[in-house]
A and B are shown apart, each in its own frame.
Chain A
Amino acid sequence: MKATVANDTILKVENLEMLFPLTKGLLSRQYASVRAVDNISFEVTKGKTFGLVGESGCGKTTTGKCILRILEPTAGRVLYNGVDITKMPRKELKQYRRELQMIFQDPYGSLDPRQSASSMLKEALTIGQTKKLTGEINDRIEELLVLVGLNTEMKVRYPHELSGGQRQRLGIARALACDPKLIVCDEPVSALDVSIQAQIINLFERLQEELELTYVFVAHDLAVVRHIAERIGVMYLGHLVEVLDSSDLFQNSMHPYTKALLSAVPTIDYYAEKSRNRILLEGEVPSPINAPSGCPFHPRCKYATEQCKKQRPELTDRGGEHMVACHNV
């Protein structure tokens, strides 16, 4: 089952596809399907952050969930350290479960309201453990709380007694309790206030350095993703349209969608903002149930040609590991 992968690649996603069937009637007859993730491939380097950006409904969260097999992908492979985990029986997968963790967007919904912080962390520490932990659990819980910047007195608190930022820190502590190698962060800062958001982003960066973590960072905020990730994948309607280094994002992005997305983000640089020309996209993201033929972006793209309507562009390398899926660049 071992495949050849470069040494520092911790995760490799190959032609991942996720279809959700749409059914109707008494017999739940399938009449269509939603292509949430359509044939996407990317690699994540160990100790680095891979950012997935896109608008709602583009399949970025689904991709994150498929990587962890919270959802079973319909096709494609997910290689973790060279081992395909998509076809692996559940029992065998268990050994990887602790190494692959997830942090969720909603710090209100992702914590059990009837569990105290310490009981939550205790569960995460002991679940799936091969050897029994006894005396050290308490120390470990306190260590975790300190690690994420919470007071050790917080361990008796319940989620409703914590602020949004503190809840998100607890969610992070819970993921860290399993000693993960790779964490999928699904919009971890978008529910937080600006001043708290910066605290949590800095926490993510500190933890990555200290614990040598790898992140797949899913978010809709381009500025946040550019800040935290080394490589960025831009998704549109289930497709990966551009993959590039984050230092290239602002100046060298090539795909018309990435450019439009960049120009739509308002910035706090007053003079640049006043002189900036905005690319306003027409219309809205089409429904993934009847996705357009050819390039998924062609109905909103001003450069669209006949070829774009018929043929789907492949993600190809344009030099310097800058991948773009577009006929016209």
Chain B
Amino acid sequence: MGERLLEVKNLRTSFFTVAGEVKAVNGISYYLDKQEIIAIVGESGCGKSVSQKSMVQLIQMPPGKILGGEVLFEGKNLLDYAPTSKEIQSVRGAGISFIFQEPMTALNPVYTVGNQLVEVIRNHKKCSKAEAWKIGVQALRDVAIPDPEKRMRNYPFELSGGMRQRILIAICVACNSKVIIADEPTTALDVTIQAQVMELLQQIVERKKTSLVIVTHNLGLVTRYAQRIYVMYAGRIIESGTTEELITKPRHPYTKGLLNSVPKLDQTGSEKLIPIDGTPPSLVNLPDQCAFLPRCPYACDKCRNSMFPELRSVEGENHFVACHRDIVEDRT
């Protein structure tokens, strides 16, 4: 494993709403090494996006508030800085940058692509407009956009969804981001375009020596591209491990449930899917016990009577699970 680049310790973010405190991120810890691709997997509302945005304080405050934890990036704790400080602004973009799910809303519709690229580049690097333009064209070339000079003068609406997503990646490339956080990068795209964008991201990680965090609900995507996986449920990480460990020997009932819910392409019989019963819990008034308890097929008295289980190390490389029970399922 390479050099440690980013480490998040016990991060907690809540939103204070009329209905009460929404514990979106409830004490999560993870790390990212140089040139590594990790994935944060979970369903909608599990806090996966908020956990990422909290790192660079991009959440709306109020109602949101980062209650505690540390985000160590290149030896500094990013949570020590004020949300509008120069220091954190220099980290956003140049250090840690984001690719969002909906590329149309992430780009400004009334400025050309070139305009937006030049603005970002000049924010992070002292250079003339002409130089920034050149860097921008090169960045578009790096993400395999044909005819980059012409595309620089296009507005976002003139481009297709896949092309817009490439522009966002180009912005990360242009500012030499060390960490790219791709928040559901391909959900809005078609399957064949999705494959193109993911292959591109993987190439960028190799060529530009960046690291990548894929935030997604799509387990297939993660299986192919990530080296390690963190599974989130109701604001907490409930299982983590290398992709091979986690996909082939899942320990947590939720992870198993997720894997069993996905229809498989290569099976010939008409086997039934095994869904997870019930719905994800509301993050307001979360119980003290395991949040998965009401939906868990393995729940026992110990689960009902004890506090939320802490992540503990289990057999296998780097494998951690937050579950009182220990049910191993071999999916190899």
Residues of A within 8 A of B (CB): 55-56, 163, 165-166, 193-199, 201-202, 205, 220, 222-224, 226-228, 247, 249-250, 260-273, 278, 280-281, 284-285
Contacts and interface: CB of A to CB of B under 8 A. Distances in A.
A199 B257 CA distance: 12
B44 interface: yes
A272 B195 contact: no
Given A163-B279, A220-B190, A267 B266 contact: yes
A200 B33 CA distance: 39
Contacts of B257: 195
A247 B223 contact: no
Query: Which of A197, A220, A267: most chain B Cβ within 10 A?
Result: A267
Contacts of A222: 191, 265
B263 A227 contact: yes
Contact of B274 (A55, A198, A262): A198
A206 B332 CA distance: 29
Given A267-B266, A272-B266, A194 B261 contact: yes
Nearest to A272: B266
Nearest to B332: A271
Interface string B155-189: 00000101100000000000000000000000000
Interface residues of B, number: 47
Contacts of A194: 43, 217-219, 258, 261-262
B192 A268 contact: no
Interface string B272-285: 11111101100000
Contact of B223 (A163, A263, A266): A266
Given A194-B262, A198-B275, A202-B272, A280 B224 contact: no
A199 to B, nearest CB: 4
Contact of B220 (A227, A250, A266, A281): A266
Given A198-B276, A268-B262, A273 B199 contact: no
A198 B196 CA distance: 27
Query: Which of B195, B247, B268: most chain A Cβ within 10 A?
Result: B195
Contacts, number: 130
A284 B265 contact: no
Given A223-B264, A270-B243, A195 B190 contact: no
A281 B196 contact: yes
Contact of B262 (A223, A273, A281): A223
Contacts of B191: 55, 220, 222, 261, 264-265
B71 interface: no
Given A205-B272, A266-B225, A272-B266, 8 more contacts: A227-B263, A228-B263, A250-B266, A264-B191, A264-B192, A266-B195, A269-B223, A284-B193
B275 A265 contact: no
B57 to A, nearest CB: 28
B318 to A, nearest CB: 15
B248 interface: yes
Nearest to A195: B276
Nearest to B187: A190
27 contacts: A195-B258, A195-B276, A195-B280, A196-B279, A197-B275, A198-B260, A198-B263, A198-B275, A201-B275, A202-B273, A223-B264, A226-B265, A227-B263, A227-B264, A250-B268, A261-B191, A264-B192, A264-B195, A266-B218, A266-B224, A270-B244, A271-B248, A271-B332, A272-B266, A273-B223, A278-B199, A284-B160
B89 interface: no
Contact of A247 (B244, B261, B262, B268): B268
B272 A268 contact: no
B221 interface: yes
A193 B44 contact: yes
A280 B217 contact: no
A166 B193 CA distance: 31
Contacts of A165: 279
Top-4 shortest CB links A-B: A266-B220, A198-B275, A198-B261, A227-B263
A138 B279 CA distance: 27
B220 A265 contact: yes
Contact of B195 (A224, A228, A267, A278): A278
A23 B223 CA distance: 47
A195 B192 contact: no
B280 to A, nearest CB: 7
B101 interface: no
A261 B192 contact: yes
A270 B248 contact: yes
A268 B247 CA distance: 7
Contacts of A266: 195, 198, 218, 220-221, 223-225
Contact of B190 (A56, A227, A280): A56
B259 interface: yes
B194 interface: yes
B224 to A, nearest CB: 5
B162 A284 contact: yes
A194 to B, nearest CB: 5
A317 B219 CA distance: 36
Nearest to A287: B160
Nearest to B266: A250
B148 to A, nearest CB: 16
A227 B273 CA distance: 9
A218 to B, nearest CB: 15
A280 B220 CA distance: 17
Contacts of B217: 193-194
Given A194-B258, A195-B257, A273-B224, A267 B265 contact: yes
B273 A285 contact: no
Contacts of A262: 265
A263 B196 CA distance: 12
A197 B44 CA distance: 13
Contact of B192 (A55, A224, A250): A55
Nearest to A230: B270
A222 B223 CA distance: 17
Given A193-B43, A285-B190, A280 B263 contact: no
